[in-house]
Chain A
Amino acid sequence: MSATPHYTPYHPKWYRRRVSVWWWLQKGSSACFVLRELTSVGVAFFAVVCLWQVRALAEGPEAYARFLVWLRTPLFLALHAVAFLFVLFHAVTWFNLAPRALVVRLQGRRLPDGIIAGANYAAWLVLSGVVAWILMRG
């Protein structure tokens, strides 16, 4: 036997399995993950509507009135309902994952996950409250 073993960089008879296009349907957690990624479509929808609203405002009162009529159509109401559910799912899964990414140490100890997630939820509630107050005031 030689003192210096010789390694080949490849193995001619490896078997490599291709990843199925449907990999995300094989497990509940994977499907949940892909759904979370898809919720970004809902976020994008709200952003586009918001931009559209700004454009209508810039075009004058008549254009804005037309925009408001559009918003009241059943199609838009349905789209908004679906997008809202998407965004809600997005926000909740995001806040629940926040403690994994955010490590806060206080006096050498890592703050528990509940406090990090709780702080995120609290900030969400406060900001939502501020937005609601601004809207209701008018």
Chain B
Amino acid sequence: MPPTVTLTVTRYRPEQESEPTFQTYEVPFRKDWVVLDALNYIKDKLDGSLSFRWSCRMGVCGSCGMMVDDTPKLTCAAFLSDHLPGPIRVEPLQYFPVIRDLVVDITDFMRKLKTVKPWIIREHEKSLAEGEYLQTPSQLEAYKQFSMCINCLLCYAACPIYGLEPSFIGPAAIALAQRYNLDSRDQAKRERHQIVSAHGGIWECTFVGECTKVCPKNVDPAGAIQQYKLTAAGHWFKALLLPWRTR
């Protein structure tokens, strides 16, 4: 086991430089350390000016996503020992504008997420007195996988389509739209369909499949998009063959 490991970290200080540079840091190597531990060591002991986002340290909050050796990863789950001998390259999530060092601006995603209406919509809300909306285990199973998304945006950083076509709604937002479409309590499939099958929606996706590979929660956004495509194609055929049946 090496006593230390080198991290090559992106620095971008907009008040000093016009484009990012790399800075190397030597940190102690520990078997139980993840990249986030190393970044915190740098912040605490070597260079307090390094900026990065993190919160929970256990793969729940989704805020510590970065490019580790060119792959989008949650740094709280990327063990140093898996990236030996180093130097380990740590960069901000690609395809997002960089604000400072390893911090990216995710406004674009937040705006897109809102457009797909990721919440339960009812045609008629039940009154409280009528009780809750019940669901069987198999109804829960239908959407549960897509509900595990933590909005860490690793899937966006893995998606070349998002990089090339900024209007693409993107993997996580579509997976979350599908999460509500498949929910037995929801009644807004048609509403979401208009948004998700429009320009920038599911048809932008060419099924590269990288989003699913990098997802730390096994959400399978690529699957969600392809399943949505099948449903949308079904709708289209139905409207073509039975025009009087569609509203």
Closest to B95 in A: A19
Whole-angstrom CA separation of A24 from B70 in the bound complex: 13
Q: Find out whether the CB atom of B209 lies under 8 angstroms from the CB atom of A15.
A: no
A89 at the interface (CB under 8 A from B): no
B30 at the interface (CB under 8 A from A): no
Q: Choose from A13, A16, A100 the contact partner of B209 (Cβ within 8 Å).
A: A100
Across-interface contacts of B226 in A (CB, < 8 A): 97, 100-101
From known contacts A15-B98, A101-B226, infer whether A37 and B206 are also in contact, taking CB-CB under 8 Å: yes
Across-interface contacts of A105 in B (CB, < 8 A): 138, 142
Which of A15, A17, A33, A105 counts the most chain B CB atoms within 10 A? A15
Q: Find out whether the CB atom of B223 lies under 8 angstroms from the CB atom of A33.
A: no
B86 at the interface (CB under 8 A from A): no
Q: From residue 86 to 117 of chain A, which have CB atoms closer than 8 A to chain B?
A: 97, 100-103, 105, 108, 110
The contact string, 1 if C-beta is below 8 Å from chain B, for chain A 10-47, is 01011111010001101101100100010000000000
B83 at the interface (CB under 8 A from A): no
- Count of interface residues, chain B, beta-carbon cutoff 8 Å: 33
Q: Find out whether the CB atom of B138 lies under 8 angstroms from the CB atom of A108.
A: yes
Q: Hey, which bits of chain A sit against chain B, CB under 8 A?
A: 11, 13-17, 19, 23-24, 26-27, 29-30, 33, 37, 97, 100-103, 105, 108, 110
Whole-angstrom CA separation of A86 from B53 in the bound complex: 45
B213 at the interface (CB under 8 A from A): yes
Whole-angstrom CA separation of A101 from B230 in the bound complex: 7
20 cross-chain CB contacts under 8 A: A14-B14, A14-B97, A14-B98, A15-B19, A16-B97, A17-B98, A23-B160, A24-B160, A27-B70, A97-B207, A100-B207, A100-B212, A100-B220, A100-B223, A100-B226, A101-B226, A101-B227, A103-B223, A103-B227, A110-B141
B75 at the interface (CB under 8 A from A): no
Across-interface contacts of A97 in B (CB, < 8 A): 207, 209, 226
The contact string, 1 if C-beta is below 8 Å from chain A, for chain B 1-20, is 00000000000101100011
Across-interface contacts of B229 in A (CB, < 8 A): 101
Q: Find out whether the CB atom of B160 lies under 8 angstroms from the CB atom of A19.
A: yes
CB distance from A78 to the nearest CB of B (A): 29
- Beyond A14-B14, A101-B223, list 9 extra A-B contacts (CB 8 Å): A15-B14, A19-B95, A19-B160, A19-B164, A23-B160, A30-B208, A100-B223, A101-B227, A105-B142
B47 at the interface (CB under 8 A from A): no
The contact string, 1 if C-beta is below 8 Å from chain A, for chain B 149-175, is 000000000001001100000000000
The contact string, 1 if C-beta is below 8 Å from chain A, for chain B 199-231, is 000000011111011000000101100110110
Across-interface contacts of A15 in B (CB, < 8 A): 12, 14, 19-20, 97-98
B105 at the interface (CB under 8 A from A): yes
Q: Find out whether the CB atom of A23 lies under 8 angstroms from the CB atom of B163.
A: yes
From known contacts A15-B20, A24-B160, A108-B138, infer whether A100 and B222 are also in contact, taking CB-CB under 8 Å: yes
Q: Find out whether the CB atom of A29 lies under 8 angstroms from the CB atom of B163.
A: no
Across-interface contacts of A19 in B (CB, < 8 A): 95, 160, 163-164
Q: Choose from B20, B99, B227 the contact partner of A11 (Cβ within 8 Å).
A: B99
Closest to B97 in A: A14
Q: Find out whether the CB atom of A29 lies under 8 angstroms from the CB atom of B213.
A: yes
Across-interface contacts of A23 in B (CB, < 8 A): 160, 163-164
